[in-house]
Amino acid sequence: MNRHVLSILVNNQPSVLSRVTGLFSRRGYNISSLSVGVTEVEDVSRITIVLYCDDLDCRQITKQVEKLVDVIRIVELNQERGVFRELALIKVSASADKRSEIMSIVDIYRANIIDVGTETLTIEITGNEKKIESFSELMEPFGIKETVRTGLTGLCRGNNPIKKVKGANK
């Protein structure tokens, strides 16, 4: 099974997300990551879905999603065609004697400390999945209290917005 990242432009209407994700679940596909947000056009949202399946299954589900009424465009993004990022917030135990060590690691990873508690630091980090996982592994010895991740999001590289990508039908 291969990782597939689907970027889907949809009309920003109630229940569109439910209809799109429902199509995946009805067909037995597990969504590994889901990210949704408005675009530069007020009435259009972008859904980024990551799933693991074989290439044929991905083509089939892509064709089925394209048929939904509120779907404007769907494109599969790959490493050559897309730029990807994820955001994570990680709350770490941080006693006074460990804070400088944690802050050094935060600086190396170009992360940000966004909240300071008496016994914790909350860190914001963006990047690809490997960067976030690597950073999390380094924070584990300090004691991770909580983690939340946004899920992968991405855009087409260069001058090709999703609206102009060849091979998309709408």
Cα dihedral 74, 78, 80, 84 sign: positive
The CATH class given to the 83-149 domain equals: alpha beta
Distance CA 138, CA 96 (A): 18
Percentage of the chain beyond pLDDT 90 is: 77
Give the model confidence (pLDDT) of 54-106 as tens digits. 989 899 999 999 999 999 999 999 888 889 999 999 999 999 999 999 999 99
The CATH class given to the 2-78 domain equals: alpha beta
Backbone angles phi, psi at 110, to 5 degrees: 55, 40
Give the model confidence (pLDDT) of 48-60 as tens digits. 999 999 989 899 9
The domain locations on the chain are: 2-78, 83-149
Q: Flag whether pLDDT at 169 surpasses 80.
A: no
**pLDDT band at residue 147 using 50, 70 and 90 as cut-offs:** very high
Q: Are 15 and 70 in contact (CB under 8 A)?
A: no
* Token pair belonging to 77: 């993004």
For 95, the 3-state DSSP assignment is coil
Distance CA 110, CA 106 (A): 6
Least-confidence region, from 22-36, 71-85, 152-166? 152-166
Q: What pLDDT sits at residue 170?
A: 41
In residues, how long is the chain?
170
The verdict on pTM exceeding 0.85 is no
End-to-end CA distance of the chain: 28
Q: Flag whether pLDDT at 166 surpasses 70.
A: no
**pLDDT band at residue 163 using 50, 70 and 90 as cut-offs:** low
Give the model confidence (pLDDT) of 116-138 as tens digits. 999 999 999 999 999 999 999 99
- Backbone angle region of 104, left / alpha / beta, with phi > 0 → left and psi within -120 to 50 → alpha: alpha
Question: What interhelical angle do 16-26 and 55-66 show, nearest 10?
Answer: 140
Q: Flag whether pLDDT at 168 surpasses 60.
A: no
